[in-house]
A and B are shown apart, each in its own frame.
Chain A
């Protein structure tokens, strides 16, 4: 059975590229348009990995990670940030919030797939 990934990003074009890349690698991907939508979807379905942007309306990536880590089902689920933010300060905040990795946009599909495979197989 295919591993499931929740891709959270407010940019439709970016989500489209994430979905394209990960589906081609055999993953089942669900899209969410912002942190709140991501949190809602995560509460109705269990995902093997969450890939989230940082800067989004309604709820940003760090807030989403904190909210997910507060849910028993997501305490150990790998969460990767995929964002334009590249400062050490933001990475430290991500790590403290409970992120397992930080990917700076733009992403290369092969490298993204390799990282996802390394994290969830």
Chain B
């Protein structure tokens, strides 16, 4: 086997290895993200249902207590304490509603990551397919030209992927966002 043939084979193996291993790991990442999304969806469904049920129960309880307080002519300090507790509950309800919006944002971020994984897998698959087409007997100049084409194709696909994936979620915390009226 000539030195030239040996190095061509090494390059082919390297490129197909990058493609194969990269794709395998991307599949694992994708599987984990799908599972994460399922868990987050189930979590938000349960949290929302519990939140609604608790809110309904607390509202009913507040009404009952207020009615009792009115009926029994409760002292002013007790009425004031009840009012203050109701306000506290209201503040926590607002905070919970703000916090419960996490799933909308995490879902968008995960979807974006999934699209990027799909795009990257395509890039790697193309690299694998292109490298498979390299003949064992190839002179240096032809090999260099082929590798350059593979690199350019990879670069083009990668750039296209970047431009398709507009980052719509830049939030890094769950405080309420800005409001602007035009």
Per-residue contact bits, chain A 72-88, to B (CB 8 Å; 1 contact, 0 not)? 00000000000111100
A84: which of B52, B100, B103, B171 is its contact (CB, 8 Å)?
Answer: B171
A101 engages B101 (CB within 8 Å): no
A101 engages B168 (CB within 8 Å): no
B94 engages A110 (CB within 8 Å): yes
CB-CB contacts below 8 Å: A87-121 with B: 91, 95, 99-111, 115, 118-119
**Residue A33 interfacial (CB < 8 Å):** no
**Residue A21 interfacial (CB < 8 Å):** yes
In the complex, 13 of the A-B residue pairs with CB atoms within 8 angstroms, ordered by the A residue number, are A13-B44, A13-B45, A17-B101, A84-B170, A86-B178, A101-B179, A102-B179, A104-B177, A106-B105, A107-B176, A108-B176, A109-B94, A119-B181
**Residue total for B at the interface (Cβ-Cβ under 8 A):** 31
B179 engages A111 (CB within 8 Å): yes
Residues in A whose Cβ lies below 8 Å from that of B108: 55, 84
Shortest beta-carbon contacts, A-B, top 6: A104-B177, A108-B176, A106-B101, A11-B104, A101-B181, A14-B104
**What is the CB-to-nearest-CB distance from B121 to chain A, in angstroms, rounded to a whole number?**
22
B171: which of A14, A55, A106, A118 is its contact (CB, 8 Å)?
Answer: A106
**What is the CB-to-nearest-CB distance from B91 to chain A, in angstroms, rounded to a whole number?**
9
**What is the CB-to-nearest-CB distance from B62 to chain A, in angstroms, rounded to a whole number?**
13
**Residue total for A at the interface (Cβ-Cβ under 8 A):** 32
B179: which of A84, A99, A104, A109 is its contact (CB, 8 Å)?
Answer: A104
Residues in A whose Cβ lies below 8 Å from that of B97: 17, 20-21, 108-109
A50, B44: Cα distance in complex, Å: 25
Question: Other than the known A106-B171, A111-B179, A115-B181, what 9 A-B pairs have Cβ atoms closer than 8 Å?
Answer: A11-B104, A11-B107, A13-B44, A55-B168, A84-B105, A104-B171, A111-B176, A118-B181, A119-B181
Q: Which residue on chain A has the smallest CB distance to residue B109?
A: A84
**Residue B98 interfacial (CB < 8 Å):** yes
Residues in B whose Cβ lies below 8 Å from that of A54: 168
B98 engages A107 (CB within 8 Å): yes
**Residue B169 interfacial (CB < 8 Å):** yes
Known contacts A84-B108, A101-B181; A107/B101 CB under 8 A: yes
Per-residue contact bits, chain A 1-39, to B (CB 8 Å; 1 contact, 0 not)? 000000001010110110011000000000000000000
A100 engages B181 (CB within 8 Å): yes
Residues in A whose Cβ lies below 8 Å from that of B100: 13, 17
A86, B170: Cα distance in complex, Å: 8
Q: Which residue on chain B has the smallest CB distance to residue A95?
A: B182
A4, B174: Cα distance in complex, Å: 28
**What is the CB-to-nearest-CB distance from B47 to chain A, in angstroms, rounded to a whole number?**
9
